[in-house]
Structure 1
Amino acid sequence: MSLLGKKFPAPVGRVMAPFYVSGLVVMYGINSFANLIATSDSFDFKNDPRNPALKNAPAKH
């Protein structure tokens, strides 16, 4: 006897595949845009002390 109950042969992976792929595309786009903002000189986030890109950059005097 299984703890999860009866298994039903539903094709969940094949049906949900377009949603998984579109989710990955959206997450990649958001990550790319966030990296662009963090490293760009034209945005005000460049000098923000919470910017993670400043932790890896050498100190400017």
Structure 2
Amino acid sequence: MSLLGKKFNAPVAGPMGPFYAAGVVVFYGVWKVQSALMDTPQWKNDPRNPNLKSAKPAEH
């Protein structure tokens, strides 16, 4: 007896394909908008910006 119940051989990946593709498109769009906003003048010199190139490295 299986702990998960009866197995049904229903297709999962096929019907979910458009949702997977939409997730990839949304992820790519958010990534592009985020990287574009990090280059705006408002955030260009913000210390929280990961693209900020500091003049000297932090010393320990």
Q: State the TM-score, normalized to the length of structure 1.
A: 0.75
When the two chains are superposed, the root-mean-square deviation of aligned CA atoms in Å is 1.7
Question: Which position in structure 1 is the counterpart of 2:20?
Answer: 20
Tell me, in whole angstroms, the C-alpha distance in 2 between the residues paired with 1:33 and 1:4: 42
Distance in 1, Cα, partners of 2:41 & 2:28: 20
Greater share of helix residues, 1 or 2? Answer: 1
Whether the aligned pair in 2 keeps the contact of 1:37 and 1:46 (CA below 8 Å) is no
Q: Which runs of 4+ in 1 moved over 6 A?
A: none
Highest RCO, 1 vs 2 (Cα 8 Å, sep ≥ 6):
1
How far 1:25 sits from its partner (Å)?
0.7
Structure 2: unaligned runs, 5 residues or longer: none
Give the gaps of 5 or more residues in structure 1: none
